C-alpha cells in the first residue's frame, strides 16, 4: 500500500503559498524525485511548487541535447499534481559578463532521436521550449571576478531581459558586487522578481552574505520591487522551509503585497504579466 511519505501533521507548514526554487535528482547533487517533491510540497501546505533543476554545466559539461532532455518532456507532468500546482522551471547559469545563459550559443544539429534539424536551434532555445520560467543565477563567479560594478550590474540587467527569466537567483550570495538599486529597478520595470533564497542564510555563508541579502530585501521594500521566496531545497524535506527568510522579512516589516510567492494566484499573475500565460496542460 502506497501513501504519502509525509505525515502532514508533523511537517512544518510553509509561511508562503509557493516554493519556486527547488531541485530534484536531475541536479545530481540533489536527492529526491519530482514525485517526492510534490508530496513534500503538499505536506508543507504549499499551493504551488516550482521545480527548477540546474540548467548548467553542473549536470553535464557536454552541451549535448541528450543530457538535457529532462527539460524537454515536461508536458507529461500534470499541471496540478496531488493537489499542488506544479510549474516547470530551470535554474540557469549566467555564464559571462554579457549576461548570457548556459547554452545560448551552442547550435544543435540534431534532436534527442538523432534526427537532423532543418533550422538549427540553440541548446537554450530547444531545451527551454516547455519551460514555464527560469531563474538566472551565478554559481561560478570566476568570469566576473575582475568586473567593474557597472559591468556586473549590466550583466544582471541583461540576464533579467531574457524573455523566460522571471527571477534573479540568490544574488546576495553570488559574490559578485553590483549596483543593487539599478538591478532592482530593472527588475521592477520588467515585472520580474528578486529572489530571497533561504539557503543563502545557511551558517557557512557567514554574516556578510546575510547582511547583503538583508540589504537587498530592504531596498526591494523601499523601491517597491517584488520578491520571490525560494527554499533552494535539494531534498524533499526542505521544501517549503523558510525559517530564516520569514524571520528576516518580519524583522524588516517587508510589505506582504511585494511577496509574489505569498499565494499561487499572485505568483501566476506575476508570471503571466512578466513572461506570458501558462498553458493549462493535461488534467491530473
Ligand atoms: Zn543556485
Ligand atoms: Zn538552486
SS (H, E, C) the chain: CCCCCCCHHHCCCCCCCEEEEECCHHHCCCCCCHHHHHHHHHHCCCCEEEEEEEECCCCCCCCCHHHHHHHCCHHHCCCEECCEEEEEEEEEEECCCCCCECCCCCECCECCCCCECCCCCEHHHHHCCCCCEEEEECCCHHHHCCCCHHHHHHHHHHHHHCCCEEEECCCCCCCCCCCHHHHHHHHHHHCCEEEEEHHHHCHHHHHHHHHHHHHHHHHHHHHCCCEEEECCECCHHHCCCCHHHHHHHHHCCCCHHHECCCCHHHHHHHHHHHHCCCCCCCCC
- Give 91 Cα–ligand 2 centroid separation in angstroms: 6
* Cα of 12 from ligand 1 centre, angstroms: 24
Question: Which ligand has an atom closest to residue 21 CA?
Answer: 2
Greatest CA separation found in the chain? Answer: 59
Predicted local confidence at residue 5, as pLDDT: 61
pLDDT at 280 over 70: no
Q: How far is the CA of 155 from the centre of ligand 1 (A)?
A: 17
Q: How far is CA 233 from CA 37, 50, 172, 222, in A?
A: 9, 11, 17, 28
Q: CB–CB of 155/162 below 8 Å? A: no
Ligand (nearest to CA of 230): 2
Query: Which residues line ion ligand 2, judged by CB < 5 Å?
Result: 91, 232
Percent of the chain with pLDDT over 70: 95
Other CB atoms within 10 Å distance of the CB of residue 35: 13
Q: Report CA(36)–ligand 2 centroid distance (Å).
A: 17
Going from the Cα of 139 to the center of ligand 1, the distance in angstroms, rounded, reads 6
**Cβ neighbours of 19 (radius 10 Å):** 32
Cα(119) to centroid(ligand 2), Å: 32
Q: Tens digit of pLDDT for each residue in 48-80?
A: 999 999 999 999 988 999 999 999 999 999 999
pLDDT of residue 282: 45
Ligand 2 centroid vs 54 CA: distance in angstroms?
A: 7
32, 127, 252 from 120: Cα distances, Å: 34, 13, 49
**Domain regions of the chain by residue span:** 13-275
Nearest ligand, CA 139: 1
Summarised one tens digit per residue, pLDDT across range 86-130 is: 999 999 999 999 999 999 999 999 999 999 999 999 999 999 999
The mean predicted confidence, pLDDT, of the chain is 94
Centre of ligand 2 to C-alpha 53, Å, is: 7
Q: Which residue has the cell 555563508?
A: 205
Q: Residue 266 Cα, ligand 1 centroid: separation in angstroms?
A: 23
Q: How much distance in Å is there from the Cα of 4 to the middle of ligand 1?
A: 28
Rounded-to-integer distance, Cα 107 and Cα 126, Å: 9
Counting ligands in written order, which one lies closest to the CA of residue 50?
2
Q: Ligand 2 center to residue 203 CA distance, Å? A: 17
Q: Is 240:40 a contact under the CB 8 Å cutoff?
A: yes
Please give the distance, rounded to the nearest whole angstrom, from the Cα atom of residue 222 to the centre of ligand 1. 26
Query: Distance from the CA of 2 to the center of ligand 1, in angstroms?
Result: 33
Q: Is residue 161 predicted with pLDDT exceeding 80?
A: yes
The pLDDT assigned to 1 comes to 43
Are the C-beta atoms of 95 and 149 separated by less than 8 Å?
no
Between CA 61 and CA 66 the distance in angstroms is: 12
Give yes or no for residue 283 having a pLDDT over 60: no
Q: What is the pTM of this model?
A: 0.95
Percentage of the chain lying above the pLDDT 90 cut: 92
Q: Quick check: 258 pLDDT over 60?
A: yes
* CATH homologous superfamily for the domain 13-275: Metal-dependent hydrolases (3.20.20.140)
Confidence of residue 7 (pLDDT cuts 50, 70, 90): low
Ligand 1 centre from 71 Cα, in Å? 17
Amino acid at each position: 500500500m502506497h501513501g504519502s511519505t509525509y505525515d502532514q501533521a508533523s511537517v512544518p507548514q510553509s509561511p508562503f503559498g509557493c516554493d519556486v526554487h527547488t531541485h530534484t535528482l536531475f541536479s545530481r547533487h540533489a536527492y529526491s524525485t519530482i514525485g517526492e517533491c510534490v508530496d513534500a510540497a503538499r505536506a508543507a501546505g504549499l499551493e504551488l511548487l516550482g521545480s527548477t533543476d540546474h540548467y548548467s554545466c553542473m549536470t553535464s559539461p557536454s552541451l549535448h541535447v541528450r543530457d538535457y532532455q529532462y527539460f524537454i518532456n515536461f508536458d507529461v507532468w500534470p499541471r496540478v499534481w496531488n493537489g499542488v500546482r506544479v510549474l516547470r522551471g530551470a535554474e540557469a547559469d549566467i555564464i559571462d559578463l554579457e549576461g548570457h545563459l548556459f547554452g545560448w550559443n551552442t547550435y544543435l544539429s540534431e534532436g534527442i532521436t538523432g534526427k537532423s534539424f532543418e533550422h538549427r536551434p540553440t541548446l537554450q532555445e530547444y531545451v527551454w521550449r516547455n519551460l514555464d520560467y527560469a531563474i538566472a543565477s551565478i554559481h561560478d563567479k570566476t568570469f566576473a571576478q575582475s568586473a567593474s560594478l557597472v559591468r556586473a550590474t549590466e550583466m544582471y540587467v541583461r540576464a533579467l531581459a531574457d524573455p523566460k527569466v522571471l527571477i534573479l537567483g540568490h544574488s546576495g550570495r553570488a559574490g559578485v558586487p553590483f549596483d543593487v538599486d539599478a538591478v532592482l529597478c530593472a527588475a521592477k520595470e520588467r515585472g520580474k522578481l528578486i529572489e530571497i533564497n533561504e539557503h543563502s542564510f545557511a551558517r557557512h555563508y557567514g554574516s556578510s552574505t546575510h547582511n547583503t541579502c538583508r540589504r537587498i530585501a530592504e531596498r526591494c521594500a523601499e523601491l517597491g520591487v517584488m520578491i520571490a521566496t525560494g527554499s533552494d531545497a535539494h531534498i524533499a524535506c526542505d521544501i517549503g522551509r523558510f525559517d530564516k527568510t520569514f524571520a528576516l522579512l518580519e524583522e524588516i516589516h517587508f510589505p506582504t503585497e511585494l511577496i509574489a510567492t505569498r499565494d499561487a494566484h499572485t505568483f501566476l499573475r506575476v508570471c503571466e504579466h512578466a513572461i506570458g500565460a501558462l498553458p493549462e496542460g493535461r488534467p491530473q
